[in-house]
C-alpha cells in the first residue's frame, strides 16, 4: 500500500468520501511536480557546472553561491522573450508540440518509487506504462518539426522518429530481462526484489538499456536531432520564449526521468545501507546523470547511418542474446546461487562486447585508419 493510499484511508475517517478521494491525488501531483521542476532546475545548473569542469572551464558561477541561481535567471529571461510563430507554419500544432513533448515526461514520474510506498501510483504494469508513455514525446518532436515549416526542423523530426523507433526495441528487450528475474512489472516490486542490484546481475542488459535510453533522450553522442553544426538547433529552431523553455525543460526532464528509471531498474532504486532511502535514490539518479554528462563531454556525435547501425546491428542482437541468456538462467539456475549468474553474465557481456565492437571498426576492419 502506498503512502497516498494510506493518506486517503485516514482522510476518509474525517472527511466526506469524495474529498478523501481527490485530496491525496492533488497532494501527490503537487509533490511530484515540485520534485520534477526543482530537480530539473538543479540538473540544468549541475550539468553546466560539471560540463565546464570536464572541459577545464568553470561554468556559470556568478549568480548566487556557486551560480546556483543561474537557471532561474535563464528561465526569467526566456519567459520575457517574444514568442515567434512562423508565418507559414501550422499555428495550432506549433502551439501544441511543446505540451506534447513535456507532459509525457511528467507522466513518467507517476510510477517512479522514491521510497518504500512513496510512489504516486503503484501500477501493476508500471514499466510497460513507462515504455508506452515515454514514446509519446517523439510525436511531440515530430509535431514541432512539422509545424515549424522549416527544412532543418523537419530533418530533425525525421531523424527523431527513426532514432526513437530504433532504440525502443533494445530498450524494451533489456527491460524484459529485468522483468524475467523479478516476475513482476510493478516498479516497486522491481526495487524490492533487488537485493543485489541488477547492474551486477545483468551488466550487458544495463549497458544496452543505458545506451538506448541515452539515445532516446537525445543526449550526446546521439543528439542528432539538434546537431548544432548541421541542422542549427533541429526541431526547436523556430521556437522561442516560453515554448522553447518547455522543450528545454522537457529535455532535462527526460534525462531526469530516465535517470530515475535506470536507478530503479538496475541500481536498486531506493535500497541502500545506512542512509535514508530517498537520499540513496537521489544519489543514484545524480550518479547516472553525471555519467550521461561525462559521455556528453567526451564522445563526438555519431553519423546518422552509424546511429542506425548501432541500434540495429549492435544493440538489438545483443539485447536478444542477453534476453535468451537471462531467460535460461531464470529457468534453470537455482535462485540460491546468484553469484554463478554474475560470473556467467559478466563473461558473456565481455565476449559479446568484443565480438560486436569488431563490427564498428572502419570498413568492417579491412581499412586502416
Partner 1 sequence: MRFERYGVGVAKGMVVTFKHLFRHPITVQYPEERLVVSRRIRGNELVWFPDRCTGCATCAKSCPQGNIEIVTHIGDEDKYVVDKFEVDTGRCMFCGLCVESCPYEALAMGISYERAQYRRRQLVLSKEELQLSDIRRPSGYARPKIEPTLPRQSLLVDWDREEGGQKLSRLPLSKKRGRGV
Does the protein bind partner 1 through residue 58 (CB under 8 A)? yes
Nearer to partner 1 by Cβ, of 23 and 297: the residue is: 297
What sign does the dihedral 275-280-282-286 (CA atoms) show?
A: positive
Applying CB under 8 A, among 48, 49, 94, 159 the residue interacting with partner 1 is 49
Q: How far is CA 265 from the centre of its chain?
A: 12
For the range 270-275, what are the long-range contacts, defined as Cβ-Cβ under 8 Å and sequence gap of 24 or more? 270/113, 270/114, 270/115, 270/116, 270/191, 271/191, 271/192, 271/194, 271/195, 271/197
Under the binding rule (CB under 8 A), the answer on residue 87 touching partner 1 is no
**Is 299 among the residues that bind partner 1 (CB under 8 A)?**
yes
Per rule CB under 8 A, is residue 66 in the interface with partner 1? yes
Taking the complex as a whole, the smallest distance from the CB of residue 227 to partner 1 amounts, in Å, to: 19
Interface stretch with partner 1, choices 100-108, 158-166, 267-275, 296-304 (CB under 8 A): 296-304
Q: Would you count residue 353 as binding partner 1 (CB under 8 A)?
A: yes
CB-wise, 66 or 192, nearer to partner 1?
66
Which residue in 138, 141, 112, 114 sits closest to 126, CA to CA?
A: 112
Q: Which is nearer to partner 1, 50 or 144 (CB)?
A: 50
Kindly state the smallest distance separating residue 63's Cβ from partner 1, in Å: 13
Contacts of the segment 76-81: beta carbons below 8 A, 24+ positions apart? 78/241, 78/242, 78/244, 78/245, 78/248, 79/241, 79/242, 79/245, 81/240, 81/241, 81/244
User: Does 303 sit near partner 1 (CB under 8 A)?
Assistant: no
CB of residue 297 to partner 1, shortest distance in Å: 5
Instruction: Decide: is 295 part of the binding site for partner 1 (CB under 8 A).
Output: yes
Quick count: other Cβ atoms within 10 Å of Cβ 184? Answer: 15
What does the binding site for partner 1 look like in residue numbers (CB under 8 A)? 49, 52-59, 61, 66, 294-295, 297-299, 353-354, 357-358, 360-361, 365
Amino acid at each position: 500500500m502506498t503512502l497516498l493510499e494510506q493518506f486517503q484511508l485516514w482522510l476518509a475517517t474525517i472527511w466526506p468520501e469524495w474529498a478523501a478521494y481527490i485530496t491525496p491525488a492533488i497532494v501527490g501531483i503537487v509533490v511530484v511536480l515540485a520534485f520534477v521542476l526543482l530537480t530539473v532546475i538543479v540538473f540544468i545548473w549541475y550539468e553546466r557546472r560539471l560540463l565546464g569542469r570536464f572541459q577545464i572551464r568553470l561554468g556559470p558561477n556568478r549568480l548566487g553561491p556557486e551560480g546556483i541561481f543561474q537557471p532561474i535567471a535563464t528561465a526569467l529571461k526566456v519567459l520575457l522573450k517574444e514568442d515567434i510563430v512562423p508565418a507559414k507554419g501550422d499555428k495550432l500544432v506549433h502551439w501544441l508540440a511543446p505540451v506534447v513533448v513535456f507532459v509525457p515526461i511528467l507522466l513518467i514520474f507517476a510510477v517512479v518509487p522514491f521510497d518504500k510506498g512513496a510512489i504516486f501510483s503503484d501500477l501493476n504494469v508500471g514499466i510497460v506504462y513507462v515504455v508506452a508513455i515515454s514514446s509519446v514525446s517523439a510525436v511531440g518532436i515530430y509535431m514541432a518539426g512539422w509545424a515549424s515549416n522549416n527544412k532543418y526542423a523537419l530533418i530533425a523530426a525525421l531523424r527523431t522518429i527513426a532514432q526513437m523507433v530504433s532504440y525502443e526495441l533494445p530498450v524494451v528487450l533489456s527491460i524484459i530481462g529485468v522483468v524475467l528475474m523479478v516476475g513482476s512489472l510493478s516498479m516497486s516490486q522491481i526495487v524490492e526484489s533487488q537485493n543485489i542490484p541488477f547492474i551486477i546481475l545483468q551488466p550487458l542488459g544495463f549497458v544496452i538499456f543505458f545506451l538506448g535510453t541515452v539515445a532516446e533522450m537525445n543526449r550526446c553522442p546521439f543528439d542528432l536531432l539538434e546537431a548544432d553544426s548541421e541542422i542549427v538547433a533541429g526541431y526547436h529552431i523556430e521556437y522561442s520564449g516560453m515554448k522553447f523553455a518547455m522543450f528545454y525543460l522537457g529535455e532535462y526532464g527526460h534525462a531526469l526521468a530516465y535517470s530515475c528509471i535506470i536507478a530503479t531498474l538496475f541500481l536498486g532504486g531506493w535500497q541502500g545501507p545506512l542512509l535514508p532511502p530517498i537520499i540513496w535514490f537521489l544519489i543514484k539518479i545524480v550518479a547516472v546523470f553525471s555519467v550521461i554528462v561525462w559521455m556528453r563531454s567526451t564522445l563526438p556525435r555519431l553519423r546518422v547511418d552509424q546511429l542506425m547501425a548501432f541500434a540495429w546491428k549492435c544493440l538489438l542482437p545483443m539485447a536478444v542474446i542477453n534476453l535468451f541468456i537471462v531467460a535460461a538462467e531464470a529457468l534453470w539456475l537455482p535462485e540460491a546461487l546468484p553469484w554463478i549468474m554474475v560470473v556467467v553474465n559478466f563473461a558473456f557481456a565481455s565476449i559479446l562486447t568484443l565480438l560486436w565492437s569488431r563490427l564498428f571498426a572502419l570498413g568492417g576492419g579491412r581499412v586502416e585508419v
